Structure 1
Amino acid sequence: MTNEHGMSGVSLGGFKTVGFVGPGLCLIGLATAKNPSLGSAWLTLAFGLKSFSHSCFLVNLQEIAPQYSGVLHGISNTAGTLDAIIGTIGVGFFVELVGSFPGILLLTSLLYFLVAIFYFLYYTGEIVNFDDPVG
């Protein structure tokens, strides 16, 4: 299935899945890295693979609601910023509770895998008509 721009929702969903699964695997590698150089390599790879999810995310907003993509991006950006604030505080509490940093990396990896499953099941590129009242 392709939209009017010739982009396939299925192929973008695949890139988005790579954008979540890849960093999840890299964080497992980072949590088990035995030296700083290897840890740096895992972290660099994680950020590089995460770019797939970001690029598809921005395109998807334009695919599903071209008229409202700016508003949707603002809402999504606000949610992401709040998540970053709460997550930073939560990481401090989690590391203090568990006593080590690799635990948070493994938890974050698990979250990447769960999000990948969610997007694999529910991702769509079909246009949503917000102007059409339902029912």
Structure 2
Amino acid sequence: MTTPKRKPVPVTTANAAARITTRPAAAVAPAPATPPALHAHDLLAMASSTITTRGQQRDSGQGQERSMAATVAAFNAIEGTQLTERQGWAFMKTLKMVRAATTARNGLFNPDDALDGAAYAALEGEAATKAYAAQQQREVDAQ
């Protein structure tokens, strides 16, 4: 007995964020026969929504994804390194790039790699901006 094939549901900003952010971390959705087209602006909107949702689920305080500073501090204490928050987000972005490349070599596509990669890039940019502003303030204070 064969099971009927389900038609892929088009991904929109309204339904994709809910589909991606509510599934259990361990669950891996089967790749649809024909992946829906994802546009850059949709991925960015979904990434923004994901940052907020994950922050509400995991972080206290601001309600947005802001776990990297604590993660980097713990890693530095354990490993004796000097990673910055920006470098932590760059590391995660690189992890997603490697996963996406491996998935593509296997003939598959996982939209989560693109979504998280976009979110990590934005968080890396935010961390870089914060670090630059702090550096500029130190220079002003030193004068």
TM-score by length of 2: 0.35
Larger Cα Rg: Structure 1 or Structure 2? 2
Higher helix share: 1
RCO greater where, 1 or 2, for CA within 8 Å and sep 6 or more?
1
